[in-house]
Amino acid sequence: MYDAREKAIRDYQSAINSALHEGQQRGEQIGEQRGELRGALMGKIAILQDILGISPTDQESLRAVSIVELEELAANLQQTARSRSSS
């Protein structure tokens, strides 16, 4: 009886540890993906600002905004670039 209880406790703890490890790995993966996306958007913004002759936004300011805001800024700059090229 004692052995079965100890085994159940070890199995339970193992399951918890496994779930925590899996959650940590998933969180790291999501963080890496967001970091890559943020970096790509910041690079795109810098290129578009250079093409448009706009003084570049400093990197710290870009890091302070959300990914959604970076996407919007990149889209607006891209639209401006397209408008100028079609004129």
Residues 55-83: tens digit of each pLDDT: 999 999 999 999 999 999 999 999 999 99
Three-class HEC string of 6-46: HHHHHHHHHHHHHHHHHHHHHHHHHHHHHHHHHHHHHHHHH
Q: Which of 47, 43, 48, 72 is nearest to 59 (CA)?
A: 43
Give the single-character DSSP code of 64: T
Place 13 in a pLDDT band, splitting at 50, 70 and 90. Answer: very high
pLDDT in tens, 15-50: 999 999 999 999 999 999 999 999 999 999 999 999
Give the side-chain half-sphere CA count within 13 A for 35: 6
Residue 8 has pLDDT above 70, yes or no: yes
Specify the pTM. Answer: 0.75
